[in-house]
Amino acid sequence: MSAKSLLACALATLASACAPPIQRPDPLPEPERVSPQQWASGCTKWDEWDKPAPPYRIHGSTYYVGTCGISAIFIAGEQGHVLIDSGTKAGARVVLDNIGKLGFRPNEIASLLHSHEHFDHTGGHALIKQASGAHVVASRRAVEVLRTGESGPQDPQFGMHDAMEPVGVDVVVDDGDTVRTETATLTALATPGHSPGALSWTWQSCDAAGDCLDIVYADSLSPVSSDDYRFADHPDYVAAYRAGLQTLREVDCDLLLTPHPSASNMVERAAGGSLVGGMSCTQYADAVEARLDQRLAKERAGG
């Protein structure tokens, strides 16, 4: 063999040794097919936040991947998925497992959204971001809470919750801004009240037969606070609170979802085979406003 041939052989061997290995994604298990009734059969109306529950399809590309007690909503897209809420840190592990059970890869989550910035709904954001590389999307008033892991004094529930693992925010959204996948366009609705940075989300989800539903993931919105907080002392906050409730009354709403399944009777509705029907967005907003009015009346009466 000539010196030239030997050199060519050596270079080919070196190139082979230095070439990066072929990367193949880990195989996914066969997707689970769980009905809403099966999910409901393992959960109760008021259930534990971290209690594992199977994932199931809500409608079209929209899935439930949360626990029995805390919702997490997954919207699939071929070029990247959207996840709304992560639950607690322990609950986020259930969420990641459930996404895999559906036949999707967690590292293909493109955007991680939130309802409100308390640890029971965003405490697992750091874990989800680490596992997926997703962009964290947050309302302007939730950015600092997520960045520090602690609520601020403007939150009615300031001092009531455990701190959560901090996570950086990549995208800030305001009322009316959108997050898109190939299958859905999610619109942010500012609905402060339960927390200052709370968001609700609305999108249209269509199934293979072309049946489309307007889905609303309405924030918790209940007027819960620390003992020394008075909503009556914050008229601007109450006005924004009521404006968000009015937004929910006016939005197209075929199917209502909530961060706490118990808030909109999701377990009972799922037990019937479908989440369509039951509590409407208007009924939900009316019930919350009645509680807010009762709270304000009690405060003004010195209670």
Query: Which residues does the annotation mark as catalytic?
Result: 116, 118, 120-121, 194, 229, 260
**Could you give the dihedral angle defined by the CA atoms of residues 208, 73, 189 and 226, in that order, rounded to the nearest 10 degrees?**
160
Question: Which sign, positive or negative, has the C-alpha torsion 181, 280, 218, 267?
Answer: negative
Long-range CB contacts for residues 182-189, cutoff 8 Å, separation at least 24 = 182/77, 182/78, 182/79, 183/60, 183/61, 183/75, 183/76, 183/77, 184/61, 184/62, 184/75, 184/77, 184/82, 186/75, 186/82, 186/84, 186/113, 188/139, 189/244, 189/247, 189/248, 189/251
**Host H or E run for residue 58:** strand 56-59
Question: How many Å apart are CA 156 and CA 289, to the nearest integer?
Answer: 16
Question: How many Å apart are CA 140 and CA 187, to the nearest integer?
Answer: 15
DSSP string, 16-40: HHHSPPPP-PPPPPPPP---HHHHH
222 DSSP 8-state letter: -
What is the Cα 34 distance to its own chain's centre? 20
What per-residue string of b and e applies to 217-239 under the rule 16 or more CB within 10 Å gives b? bbbbbebbbeeebebeeeeeebe
